[in-house]
Amino acid sequence: MPAYQRILLKLSGEALMGDDAFGINRATIVRIVDEIAEVTRLGVQVAIVIGGGNIFRGVAGGSVGMDRATADYMGMLATVMNSLALADTMNKAGLVARVMSAIGIEQVVEPYVRPKALQYLEEGKVVVFAAGTGNPFFTTDTAAALRGAEIGAEMVLKATKVDGVYTADPNKDPSATRYTTISFDEAMVKNLQVMDATAFALCRDQKLPVKVFSIFKPGALRNVVMGADEGTLVHV
């Protein structure tokens, strides 16, 4: 039996790039969807928040000096594109996915409505929350914490390029060791930068644990939902 029945998976836009400079790598998104499909077959309810860095990176050169709020709205639109691509790939793989946006673009995706999102999850659909919180100055990490709390997720799963939180950057320090578990307070004192400060504080206040793991490790997502020793658990 899975250790968790309802999770919020936070994906960075960069996770979809594969080896490409920006954009979406087809093989990579298909592999990620296969991982998601595997855990849904276990009966786990899955909601997803995805960033937009892979798409926004392609225009970032022209955004130098841009008003921060304008740049953030552009980033929100990038998350909508990623969400549509992810949902389309999931639907083609036999899953049923719904995209819900925090900003109003009804001709493209439906608006985020909490009761409707909960209904979709209970029906076994995968819900993809797009456009962050709908507000500038807030990251998709904060959106993941917020939506995770709103839908009653048992855990926020932050999918990264590394397989957990380390005492130092493992790419620079070979002696760095991975934390199996660590408290929110200890992570903040050590400035480990698991998530941005707003998201981190929200998860701590809502007693919503965060699991940091590598989305690039085959089977890691399944291991996490089954309660195996995978990644790093950040808890109260």
Domain ranges of the chain: 6-235
Would you say 158 is a known binding-site residue?
no
Would you say 58 is a known binding-site residue?
no
Q: Could you tell me the pLDDT band of residue 143, with boundaries at 50, 70 and 90?
A: very high
Instruction: Evaluate if residue 206 carries a pLDDT over 80.
Output: yes
pTM above 0.85, yes or no: yes
Would you say 25 is a known binding-site residue?
no
Would you say 196 is a known binding-site residue?
no
Would you say 180 is a known binding-site residue?
no
Instruction: Evaluate if residue 121 carries a pLDDT over 90.
Output: yes
Would you say 136 is a known binding-site residue?
yes
114-151 burial, b for 16+ CB within 10 Å, e for fewer? eeebbebbeeebbbbbbbbbbebebbbbbbbbbbbbbb
Average pLDDT over residues 206-235: 95
Would you say 138 is a known binding-site residue?
yes
Instruction: Evaluate if residue 59 carries a pLDDT over 60.
Output: no
Instruction: Evaluate if residue 65 carries a pLDDT over 90.
Output: no
Instruction: Evaluate if residue 166 carries a pLDDT over 60.
Output: yes
Would you say 53 is a known binding-site residue?
yes
Would you say 11 is a known binding-site residue?
yes
Would you say 133 is a known binding-site residue?
yes
pLDDT in tens, 3-48: 999 999 999 998 999 888 888 999 999 999 999 999 999 999 999 9
CATH of 6-235, one of 3.30.1360.20, 1.10.1660.10, 3.40.1160.10, 3.40.630.10: 3.40.1160.10
